[in-house]
Structure 1
Amino acid sequence: MRLGLGWKLYGDGTAPPPGQVVKPEERLSWGRTAGLGAQHVVAMFGATFVFPVVMGLDPNLAIMMSGLATILFLLVVQGRIPSYLGTSAAFVGSVFAIREAGGDSATVTGAILVAGLVLAASGVLIHLVGARIIVATLPPAVTGAVVMLIGFNLAPVVATAYWPFDQWTGLLTMAFVVLATVLLRGFLGRITVLLGLVFGFAVSWLLDLAFGATMVPDQANEGQFVSAMRVDLSAVADAPWIGLPAFHAPEFHTSAILVALPAVIALIAENAGHVKAVEEMTGERLDPYMGRAIIADGLATAASGSVGGSPTTTYAENIGVMAATRVYSTAAYYIAALVAILFGLCPKFGALVAATPEGVLGGLTVVLYGMIGLLGAKIWVENRVDFANPVVLVPLAAGLVAGIGGVKLAFTETFVIEGIALGTIITLVGYHTLHWLAPADMRPRPLGPRPGGDEGAGLLVGTGDDTAAGYPGGEADEQGADPDDGERREGTA
């Protein structure tokens, strides 16, 4: 089987001239390739270790597993789809729900593992049947609602878990990220989370110097406050330079697994959008590899969860680096993956990440969680979803309020479906049931993306989780047939 490990030197190994690209199976000189690999590491870095921190998982392990996951992905897609797999934000809401219900990290990673296997199985089905099944099962109306559920379910977390610890640091960090996202251009504009983290650390350190300790909520005693410094690097000094990250075995609980499964919908849409974005940039037909990409991400997520790591997904930041450099060589991704593995073997780095002040996380997450939720609205807008049609409006309205409002459906004292899981079930089942029962003139018909809109993954700066608007459709699938007989994404009637 061809694994895409042989690269042909592009020209004389220098950067491509205007209008030319370096294809995935080509490479620049090894020195330039190493430089590009370093750019990919920086691009994925911020989100890949921020999201494990907010999920309560080991950032060192997440970084290391992102490197291994990227290598696995490239091997499964046979080197045809250059992508980096970093930590997925699609699971953050599910993880908080699991922890709120009393689950620990083992329960969390057990749910992540099962979700990864379900994602991989979905990829197998897509590979066998054709990419058209994505449009049929997950039209943009449904996908947008699920993504919105995932993001907006996290709003209370910001207000209660991070922001109260240091509201002024949070406010300044939030303002920096907002301004940097708009004002910075090019590569810097794609690493605003990392820049915001550094800014927040600096602000916290200056506030400690100027005002000393601050009163923060006592996590051990609800309603009580304790005095603490914002920046505490004592654990960093004690940590060794070289060592293995903290592994742990997963545990499996049905209720936790059901909470995590809706993230699979977001990952399918995200991977599909990223494949189409790469296809558009490289000019190579990648539909036959759509299923492989989803299989690879599923296997990577399951492998990461099996040792206590974070879920993975393809990263828009790294796709943005390719778009800026016009170099799509997978050799640069292999170098980036190896560098990430080396970072994961440095406990001192993990201790530094774990020392991130809560106020800084509050400032970052208030932006990131909102952006995740608004991606759902972006999917609706780009695909012209018609909310005047009750077939669309009613199930989505019910699912969103049930999911975001915390409605519970209790079957027994220990088996309860709520939050994202319940909202997703109501949306998915309700939409398809009404679509089946409605008269022909009421059934939503696909209109495709808005003219001039984004065909691929819309770049969500700095998060790595820019869930795309589903599979664009309208391309030939593996069997050479049009995925949906000329009809594209679900839109207005």
Structure 2
Amino acid sequence: MVVPRWTRHGDGRTLAPGEVVGPSERLSWPRMVGFGAQHVVAMFGATFVFPLVMGLDPNVAIMFSGIGTIMFLLIVKGKVPSYLGTSASFVGGVLAIRGLFGGDTPASDAIVTGAILVAGLVLALVGLAVHFLGVQVINRVFPPVVTGAVVMLIGFGLAYVVADVYWPQDQWIALITMVVTFVLIVAFRGFIGRIGILLGLIAGFLLSWVADRLFGNITAFNAGTGAVDTHPRVSFDAVATADWIGLPDMHFPDVRFSAVLLVLPAVIALVAENVGHVKAVGEMTGTDVDPYMGRAIIADGAATAVASGFGGSPTTTYAENIGVMAATRVYSTAAYYIAAIIAILFGLCPKFGALVAATPGGVLGGITVILYGMIGLLGARIWIENRVDFSDPVNLVPVGAGIILAIGPVKHMIGSNFTLEGIALGTIVVVAGYHLLRVIAGRGTGAGGAAGPGASEPRREATG
């Protein structure tokens, strides 16, 4: 293992106009600790919200985001500064697995993480192929029309979760949380706006606690019991009994083939996401990162496999942290190592994890309706920025059909013991349908002259 070393940039205190702190440089260590803490705050909201949505332990997710980030930096040899947080792309597949295998139970937790582990290994193999064959192999299999569709159906395919699971738990808290988050994201520029999701969640949490004091318990759907009953919006019982220091609640995975198929579509989104984010970092740092593209995908797959092997959440490179780099002009990997260590320490505080897990369902309803919509519209942005032509039926027909199948979510029985549904079914229709129609139309297979997946997308993300 190569021990990372950083040279001090200038006097270690200031940056002249136009100067940047490169990946192998640093400012003074107290300043780097501050930048590292800023990266933790930037990734924190989504990194613990998505485990909550998937029914996984947020403490494990936070801890392995730190471990995964260190793995990533080592595998890319410190050339691509990035933070690995919890991926949203697996949410639909995970919820489908829970519906198939009995909901939020320890057994289904193991099946969920088993499926994610296999998906992580598949992602690492894709990275291996990219490393040896070049980035163009991705562009041919997943052109922008396909990548945009998969990202869109992953987001919009989760609409039923908001409608059926979270919103009914406390519709007024959900609505107010959504509106507060709207305002925070749009009205505040810079750092406050970037953590608007996290601040909105905190506001909804506090509002739920106040509502319990003013109005008493709520009679509504209870996700814990699966029925309508009377219960407090916020319960701190688990927080009171949790230890301050200790290992989070980890478990080992259980691999089921039928469950694996439900999360494999997320691999497509992760490939596109990683390619886009790595290219963004390359543009910002003025370096050619294509030789490290395969390594970055391998690292993300390996980190996902390791995290899920201990009951953690899937990982991905985070645009939020790319935005922090763009705003600060500090691209030092030292800041990411510091952020990773801070995240690991958070993960070793069970009381913190219990507090996060106490987030009311109504609050998650207000947050997830925004998150899922934003994910879906990222797919549209990929289409717009790559000028995808929807007057061409080869593009229009499979994409339209796949998105409807995902939003349904439509179930397709294959035998008596296996069902393809929602996001998994929609992804198969989009990918296979697109390439089949290209062959029928006499165009062969491939990208059809379009740019690679999300090729233009990262530049706008990186501006913060």
Residue 5 in 1 paired to residue 8 in 2?
A: no
> Corresponding residue for 1:371?
374
Partner SS for 2:247: coil
> Corresponding residue for 1:228?
231
Q: Is the 8 A contact 2:156 2:406 kept in 1?
A: no
> Corresponding residue for 1:29?
28
> Corresponding residue for 2:264?
261
Cα distance in 2 for partners of 1:101, 1:20 equals 54
Q: CA RMSD in A?
A: 2.0
Q: CA deviation at 1:455?
A: 4.9
| Distance change >3 Å, CA 453–CA 273, structure 1 → 2 | closer
Cα distance in 1 for partners of 2:214, 2:12 equals 52
TM-score in terms of structure 1 length? 0.89
The one of 316, 319, 335 aligned to 1:316:
319
Amino acid at match of 1:184: F
Cα distance in 2 for partners of 1:70, 1:110 equals 21
| Distance change >3 Å, CA 288–CA 453, structure 1 → 2 | closer
Cα distance in 2 for partners of 1:368, 1:25 equals 34
> Corresponding residue for 1:399?
402
**Which string of whole-angstrom CA distances, capped at 9 and with x for unpartnered residues, describes residues 371-423 of structure 1?**
11111111111111111001111111222222322333323211222221111
Q: How does 1:87-486 map to 2 (within 5 A)?
A: 87-102=86-101, 104-219=108-223, 224-440=227-443, 445-446=448-449, 448=451, 454-456=457-459, 458=461
| Distance change >3 Å, CA 307–CA 221, structure 1 → 2 | closer
Q: CA deviation at 1:219?
A: 4.2
Amino acid at match of 1:415: F
Q: Is the 8 A contact 1:274 1:457 kept in 2?
A: no
| Distance change >3 Å, CA 14–CA 299, structure 1 → 2 | same
Cα distance in 1 for partners of 2:144, 2:417 equals 34
Cα distance in 2 for partners of 1:432, 1:410 equals 24
| Distance change >3 Å, CA 441–CA 88, structure 1 → 2 | closer
Structure 2 gaps, min length 5: 103-107
Q: CA deviation at 1:221?
A: 6.1
Q: Is the 8 A contact 1:242 1:346 kept in 2?
A: yes
Amino acid at match of 1:412: G
Cα distance in 1 for partners of 2:425, 2:85 equals 27
Cα distance in 1 for partners of 2:18, 2:341 equals 30
Q: CA deviation at 1:54?
A: 0.8
**Which string of whole-angstrom CA distances, capped at 9 and with x for unpartnered residues, describes residues 290-311 of structure 1?**
0000000000000011111100
Q: Is the 8 A contact 1:74 1:83 kept in 2?
A: yes
Cα distance in 2 for partners of 1:377, 1:344 equals 35
Q: Please identify which structure carries the higher helix content.
A: 2
Cα distance in 2 for partners of 1:34, 1:99 equals 40
**Which string of whole-angstrom CA distances, capped at 9 and with x for unpartnered residues, describes residues 310-367 of structure 1?**
0000011111110000000000100000000000000000010011111111110111
Q: Is the 8 A contact 2:307 2:314 kept in 1?
A: yes
> Corresponding residue for 1:78?
77
Cα distance in 2 for partners of 1:241, 1:84 equals 26
Amino acid at match of 1:17: A
Once the two structures are overlaid, the 10-residue window that deviates more, 3-12 or 386-395, is: 3-12
Partner SS for 1:406: coil
Q: CA deviation at 1:148?
A: 1.2
Q: How does 1:39-58 map to 2 (within 5 A)?
A: 39-58=38-57
Amino acid at match of 1:301: T
> Corresponding residue for 2:105?
none
> Corresponding residue for 1:14?
13
Once the two structures are overlaid, the 10-residue window that deviates more, 210-219 or 70-79, is: 210-219
Cα distance in 2 for partners of 1:345, 1:189 equals 28
Structure 1 gaps, min length 5: 462-493
Q: CA deviation at 1:15?
A: 3.0
Cα distance in 1 for partners of 2:235, 2:462 equals 34
**Which string of whole-angstrom CA distances, capped at 9 and with x for unpartnered residues, describes residues 254-290 of structure 1?**
1110010000000000000001100010001100000
Q: Is the 8 A contact 1:273 1:457 kept in 2?
A: no
**Which string of whole-angstrom CA distances, capped at 9 and with x for unpartnered residues, describes residues 140-192 of structure 1?**
10011111111111111111111111111111110011111111111111111
Q: CA deviation at 1:458?
A: 3.1
Partner SS for 1:456: helix
Q: CA deviation at 1:193?
A: 1.3
Cα distance in 2 for partners of 1:146, 1:454 equals 15
Q: CA deviation at 1:453?
A: 6.2
Cα distance in 2 for partners of 1:391, 1:124 equals 30
Q: Is the 8 A contact 1:392 1:444 kept in 2?
A: no
Q: Is the 8 A contact 2:139 2:446 kept in 1?
A: no
Percent identity of equivalent pairs: 61
Amino acid at match of 2:401: A
Cα distance in 2 for partners of 1:190, 1:443 equals 36
Once the two structures are overlaid, the 10-residue window that deviates more, 394-403 or 439-448, is: 439-448
Partner SS for 2:101: coil
Q: Is the 8 A contact 1:371 1:460 kept in 2?
A: no
Partner SS for 2:251: coil
Amino acid at match of 1:203: L
Q: Is the 8 A contact 1:316 1:457 kept in 2?
A: no
Once the two structures are overlaid, the 10-residue window that deviates more, 430-439 or 306-315, is: 430-439
Q: Is the 8 A contact 2:327 2:463 kept in 1?
A: no
Q: CA deviation at 1:444?
A: 7.4
Amino acid at match of 2:169: F
Q: Is the 8 A contact 2:124 2:302 kept in 1?
A: yes
Cα distance in 2 for partners of 1:328, 1:460 equals 14
TM-score in terms of structure 2 length? 0.95
Partner SS for 1:215: strand
Amino acid at match of 2:320: E
Cα distance in 1 for partners of 2:115, 2:154 equals 16
Q: Is the 8 A contact 1:4 1:79 kept in 2?
A: no
